[in-house]
Structure 1
Amino acid sequence: MKNAFRLILAMTVTFLFITWYRNAEQFPSFRYLLQICQESTRYKGTLNSESNSYGSDDLKINQLFNKIQGIIPKVTFTHVDNTTSARNSRAFLPNPKDMYCIGDPLTVQLNMYDFLGNRKKYGGDFLRARIYSPGLNASASGRIEDLSNGTYLAHFSLFWEGLVEVSVLLMHPSEGVAALWRARNEGYENIIYTGMFTSATETIYQKCGFHLATTDDVCEYRDQRDEEYFFCIKPPNLPCEALTHMNSVNSNHTYFSDVEKGLFNRSNIGVEIPNSFQAIRVSSCNKKDTAVQEKCKIRTRFPFPGGYFLRNVWYPLGCNMHRFETGEQITNCLQGKKVFLIGDSTLRQFIKHFTETLNIMMYFNHTENELQSWQKTLVSINMDKSIFVQWKKHTLPFISKTFYSVKEDTYAARQIDQIGGGQNTILLVTLGQHLRPFPFRTFIRRAINIRQAIERLFQRSPETTVIIKEENARDMDIDMERFSDFHGYVQYVILKEIFQDLNVGFVDALDMTIAYASNVIHPPLEVLENFISMCLTYIC
């Protein structure tokens, strides 16, 4: 009798659990939790090679990768003397004019030579062009046309009246571009990750990364849906779930050959190409003011260059950016809104500007020590105007010498999935700086996953405002193999390709920082204020 009762009880419990499980899957919140549980950390035993079993996105990734690889110069050299020399090259006006007017095009021709004075016969150099007038705080980027024979044309538009200077920098020779592309795509060894595993009685540090060449047991941290993978060597007495913190440092490893290393000495980076002409005088020529009155809107697409600075204010082409100069203007725009910032420290500048510079918001429950841990999630609020702003890092790969919690982390696509959306919800995303040291396919996959998350957001809430802040130029005196602006430029092109047809706004931080000559990872206040004004123009 007792055995029969136990059998009936067991069958009843099993039936109730199956019924609950099936019903739970019908509700989004439960389904999401179940999905996360099913895709959580799994112990995978021995790992001898990278075990990524990529799925349907592989074709998209390879197509985009191959498209870019097709335009990368395929050149080799045996001595630095045979590579492009900025100082031996020449910039001149092929068709000089007696008078230039506002709105006129300006073309500068560049003939490139190597260190021995020999004319270069192929293209692929990474150049950066700008025009500027220091007295007016005016500047704009130029567009480089590669004729593939050692000759380039730098195309500018003359946007303002006065004396205009021209600057063209050789960032990297074509031989350096080829080396950067090859080195970046060879592997993951340039950054070392260390994971901290903790329990009540011990703390163990283990090597982690995107690829571990080891015969030790490893923990695989997998997002199955988005095919994101990360690994740590398994600690001997702790489970994989005991991973709590992570840090990273640059390794001593390099994918450069000895001869390639010489191309990346600071003296060979960002070198001015000599001009054979003086500053150009631009006149108004009695042209009528044709200033655009319509404000910039979501889905506005800009060429490159897409605007110019005048008196430190950015003027985009084809639409009008409103200026938000005071805290009152910003709070009136953001009143009643929730703003989610997902990315790196260049987007963290936004919440710090609101809270620490303008003092229009207050951090919520953050101690001074927590604010010193720059990787920590920040929340800031304005109770009077009902404004909520949150900054959260985009997670791995995230580069930081100090340990940061991974228990609070999730990939950017997952963060977007947790945003309800609505007409008063703003999402700003940036991606790039922390991915520069890793193969381009890693970046492409991450960008595609974020795009798909934004598509899901629009499906449930099409009125949500989404803005992509593209990565900005950065320092020239850092490790070029890992952080060169060449990597940033390629990622800029990739993001344009992936997001171009979505209902999102763009803040072209690369164009703006090249124009301004802001060669620092965190652009100065004048540039930051224009980033913010561009975002707020989309919002209000």
Structure 2
Amino acid sequence: MYRPPPPPNMSKYAISSASLLFVICYACSILVFNIESDDFGNNKKNTIPLIPISSTQANRTTNSDRCRISTVNGNLVDKIVNFTSAINESSWRNDISHITSGSKSIFYIYNPRNIYHVRDEILVRIQARDMQGRNKTFGGDYFRARMVSPARNASVNPNGIVDRGDGTYDAHFTIRWPGRSDISVILVHPAEAVSVIRRAIQQLPNRLVYSGLFVAPWNHQVKETVPCDVIPPEGRICNYSDVRVYAPWYCRKPSIENLQCSHLNDICSYDSEARRKVEQITTKDERELLTQMKIPLWSSTSLTASERVDTCEPNLSLCNLRHVPRDMYAHGYFLQDKWHPFDCKSKHFERNEISKCLTNKRFYIYGDSTGRQFMEYLLKYLTGFKTIEDENENLGPHKHYHPQHNITLFHVFHGMPFRTGKCSSFREVRYVSNELDQLEGGPDLVILLSLWAHFQKTSLFLYEQRILGILDAADRLLKRSPGTSIIFKGANTRQVGDFFWTVSSTDWIAYQFELKLRQIISRSSVNVGFIDAWDLSSAHYSEDDIHPNDVILGTMIDQLLTHVCM
């Protein structure tokens, strides 16, 4: 397991050998990005990942399908085509009609049948076409698909989408409910946009601009604003890195005499300056391309399925969160807005059951606002909490206590990097590993970790090291206090606006970070749980949102409470 090196015995604000090592590693990761792979682990053949599954995975049988599945199409693809991108940059730049078009692309059920039953498998073939309606001849487009029944408030993801490398894509579905269902497909990004995103990440590994505000304690009118970042800015620097938890942070040393490194007061994040940098490395056509995302394909494809005569209820155990799926395909479905996992049973908790489950427990949340949502949900649905601490709106800490049930809710942000669009006190920056090392755990302590949204604008290398450091701290806590419940919440899909947000926070980037998170946790021996927020948010028929609606959020809380209390 990754063990961060101890802090060097050097001056507090000098560049330490460990900090220098980070800069070298960070630079090497960018160099490797250019030569052997991109920042998301794709090989030097310029592979554009979509949903890398094999046909065996796409047609797999889960435990819940042990009653019987009727395989309609069998193995139509021998193996995933890990293709070399055939994008001709000059062709689409000279003629934008070559770009994949969501409104021109089509999809249909491959080898349709007259009669369908629940648990039948179907294959939906997607044909990518350009703006002139011509079939594309190479892959790399980022499609998402869903099967939906508005009448039943039901929806499910495909078992996987296979990029065939020739402009066609196969989405494998299993029918999960009787009645009419509609298939929907969206083009999240055409392959040409993905290539622009990849290049922008390569040229701008950090797509957010920070500054630090230094204020003289003897005179608050004496102040100076300087650039800060996870890599050292030019000139003399102040080093605030926490090497032990892998949290690099630097600011340029103030030029005003007598302003010291210890006088750093606020850290500010700016979209405007970062936006300007993205504009400098992209053309007008590219920026326009980046704004065209999540375009629905207008094919009308539906089917009607009958319930089977041989219906049966598989004998499933209650879900726990110990299994971390390394894949990104479907693991359950919504029906009447209730989540039904394929391989286990998830209990739905009513209001009084939530209170009973959390009685005499401490629920500590570390991370971004998608983790803080759990606290906000509980405060909304459970009355009687008293606010103990409510500091910085974005960073926290926030603490609430329920005297009747002896429940403590606590949230604090995960430390740098963060993007708030305004200034926050540097003294309020806390790192998760340090927080875990200060805790005394036990069966009464439940910890939720949510780190993803703010890291997408930085290096995948930095994210990996931070997660490894947190797992190390979690391991120390579990050895000190067996019985502590520690759960990671993964990334969820989100709405995205203009070109800047596309190269900073698009689902394509989130997807790569999510794969890395799952890989790290699944390889670790540390006993932590995992909530698959990606499957839940992408499967639900509602619109994507960085802060999922109460149906999705309530499902995640049900999963957490099932894990903790059942």
- Common topology (TM > 0.5): yes
Relative to structure 1, is the Cα distance of residues 36 and 43 closer, same or farther in structure 2, using a 3 angstrom cutoff? Answer: closer
Opposite residue 533 of structure 1, the aligned amino acid is: D
* Cα distance change of structure 1 residues 116 and 425 upon mapping to structure 2, 3 Å threshold: same
Q: Determine the C-alpha separation between the residues in 1 that align with 2:481 and 2:202.
A: 37
1:11-47 CA distance string (max 9 Å, x none): xxxxxxxxxxxxxxxxxxxxxxxx77968941449xx
Distance 1:76 1:471 in 2: 32
AA matched with 1:431: L
> What are the residue-to-residue correspondences of 1:68-107 with 2, within 5 Å?
68-70=41-43, 71-72=47-48, 74=85, 75-78=87-90, 79=93, 80-107=96-123
| Corresponding position of 2:527 | 503
1:148 aligned onto 2:165: yes
Matches within 5 A, 1:206-221: 206-215=226-235, 217-221=236-240
**Which SS does the other structure have where 1:477 is aligned?**
coil
Cα distance in structure 1, aligned partners of 2:331 and 2:239: 43
Residue in structure 2 matching 1:223, options 242, 247, 255: 242
Return the alpha-carbon distance in structure 2 between the equivalents of residues 68 and 42 of structure 1: 34
- Structure 2 equivalent of residue 527 of structure 1: 552
Larger Rg: 1
For 1:240-255, what aligned pairs fall within 5 Å after superposition?
A: 240-250=261-271, 251=273, 252-254=276-278, 255=281
Which residue in 2 is equivalent to 1:135? 151
Preserved CA contact (<8 Å) 1:144 1:155: yes
1:20 counterpart residue number: none
Matched, 1:514 2:534: no
User: Which residue identity does 1:377 align to in structure 2?
Assistant: P
1:200 equivalent to 2:200? Answer: no
Question: Given the alignment of the two structures, is residue 416 of structure 1 paired with residue 440 of structure 2, yes or no?
Answer: no
Report the Cα distance in structure 2 between the residues aligned to 1:256 and 1:291, rounded to whole angstroms: 54
3-state SS of paired residue (1:433)? coil
Alpha-carbon distance between aligned partners in 1 of 2:427 and 2:447, rounded to the nearest angstrom: 23
Q: Which residue of 1 aligns with 2:3?
A: none
Verify the 8 A CA contact 2:245 2:470 in the aligned structure 1.
no
Alpha-carbon contact 2:110-2:122 (below 8 Å) kept: no
1:302-345 CA distances to partner (integer Å, 9 max, x unpaired)?
5621111111111112111111121x211211122222111101
Residue 281 of structure 1: how far off its partner (Å): 0.6
Alignment partner, residue 447 of structure 1: 467
Partner deviation per Cα, 1:355-377 (whole Å, 9 max, x = no partner): 244325222143xxx47x23221
- Match of 1:426? 446
Matched, 1:160 2:184: no
- Could you tell which deviates more after superposition, 110-119 or 162-171? 110-119
The C-alpha deviation readout for 1:52-98, integer Å capped at 9, x for no partner, is 2449x989x99997773124264352323222112221101111111
Question: Which residue of structure 2 aligns with residue 190 of structure 1?
Answer: 207
Contact 1:139 1:309 in 2 (8 A): yes
Shift of 1:457: 2.6
Cα offset, 1:523, TM superposition: 1.0
2:317 corresponds to which letter in structure 1? E
The match for 2:404 is 384
In structure 2, do the counterparts of structure 1 residues 117 and 90 end up closer, same or farther at CA, with 3 Å as the change threshold?
A: same
Q: Deviations over 1:90-136 (max 9, x none)?
A: 10111111111111112100111222333222111111111111121
Residue 329 (1) aligns with residue 353 (2): yes
Kindly indicate whether the alpha-carbon contact (under 8 Å) linking 2:450 and 2:488 is maintained by their aligned counterparts in 1: yes
Conservation of the 8 A alpha-carbon contact between 2:394 and 2:413: no
SS of residue in 1 equivalent to 2:89: coil
SS where residue 89 of structure 1 aligns? strand
Shift in Å at residue 178 of structure 1? 2.1
Measure, in 2, the Cα distance between the counterparts of 1:103 and 1:40.
Answer: 65
Q: Which moved more, 1:123-132 or 1:179-188?
A: 179-188
Question: For the Cα contact (< 8 Å) 1:354–1:361, is it kept in 2?
Answer: no
Query: Cα–Cα, structure 1 residues 106 and 340, in superposed 2: closer, same or farther, change >3 Å?
Result: same
TM-score of the aligned structures, taking structure 1 as reference length: 0.85
Q: Alpha carbons of 1:453 and 1:58: their partners in 2 closer, same or farther (altered >3 Å)?
A: farther
Deviates more, 1:307-316 or 1:415-424: 415-424
Match of 1:364 among 388, 411, 417: 388
Query: What's the CA shift string for 1:443-471, capped at 9, x where partnerless?
Result: 22222222222233333334221111111
1:18 maps to none
* Counterpart for residue 493 of structure 1: 515
CA distance in 1, matches of 2:338, 2:24: 48
* 2:181 is equivalent to residue 181 of structure 1: no
Separation of aligned partners in 1, 2:11 and 2:175: 56
What secondary structure does 1:228 align onto?
coil
| Match 1:239 to one of 260, 270, 295 | 260
How far off is 1:188 after superposition? 4.6
Unaligned runs of 5+ in 1: 1-34
Q: Which of 153-162 and 409-418 deviates more?
A: 409-418
Q: Where in structure 2 are there 5+ consecutive unaligned residues?
A: 1-5, 49-83
Cα distance between partner residues in 2 of 1:456 and 1:412: 13
* CA apart distance, 1:439: 2.5
Q: 1:526: Cα distance to partner?
A: 1.5
- Segment drifting more, 504-513 vs 186-195: 186-195
**Structure 1: how far apart are the matches of 2:10 and 2:455?**
24
**What is aligned with 1:113?**
129
Q: Distance in 1 between matches of 2:380 and 2:136?
A: 51
CA distance in 1, matches of 2:386, 2:10: 37
Q: Aligned equivalents of 2:342 and 2:438: distance in 1?
A: 35
- TM score, norm. by length of structure 2: 0.81
Q: Is the CA contact (8 Å cut-off) linking 2:121 and 2:174 kept in structure 1?
A: yes
Return the alpha-carbon distance in structure 1 between the equivalents of residues 395 and 225 of structure 2: 20
After TM superposition, give the deviation of residue 292 of structure 1 in Å. 4.6
Contact 2:105 / 2:126 at 8 angstroms: preserved in 1? yes
The verdict on how the C-alpha distance between 1:227 and 1:354 changes in structure 2, with shifts beyond 3 A counting, is closer
Q: Tell whether the 8 Å contact from 1:379 to 1:391 is kept in structure 2 after alignment.
A: yes
The amino acid that maps onto 2:253 is K
1:460 and 2:480 equivalent? Answer: yes
Residues 199-218 of structure 1 show CA distances to partners (whole Å, capped at 9, x for unaligned) of: 23124322211235423x21
Distance (Å, rounded) in 1 between the aligned partners of 2:306 and 2:161: 25
Distance 2:25 2:245 in 1: 9
Task: Answer yes or no: is the 8 Å Cα contact 1:41–1:222 preserved in 2.
Answer: no
Of 68-77 and 311-320, deviating more is 68-77
Q: One-letter code of the match for 1:521?
A: I
SS of 2:457's equivalent in the other structure is coil
State the match for 2:53 in structure 1. none
2:419 to 399, 418, 424: 399
What letter is aligned with 2:555?
N
Q: 1:42 aligns with which of 7, 10, 13?
A: 13
Mapped to 2, the partners of 1:383 and 1:276 lie a distance apart of 55
**Worse overlay, 439-448 or 396-405:** 439-448
Q: Which moved more, 1:530-539 or 1:457-466?
A: 457-466
CA distance in structure 2 between the aligned counterparts of 1:518 and 1:298, rounded to whole angstroms = 26
| Matched residue SS, 1:260 | helix
Residues in 1 aligned to 2:370 and 2:306: alpha-carbon distance in whole angstroms: 37
**Percent identity, aligned pairs only?**
27
CA distance in 1, matches of 2:37, 2:262: 35
* Correspondence for 1:340: 364
Task: Give, in angstroms, the shift of residue 194 of structure 1.
Answer: 1.9
Greater Cα shift, 285-294 or 500-509: 285-294
Contact 1:298 1:503 (C-alpha < 8 Å) held by counterparts: no
- CA separation of 1:103 and 1:415: change in aligned 2, threshold 3 A: same
Q: Tell me, what secondary structure is at the counterpart of 1:225?
A: helix
Take 1:258 and 1:530, find their aligned partners in 2: how far apart are those partners? 42
Give the aligned residue type for 2:23: N
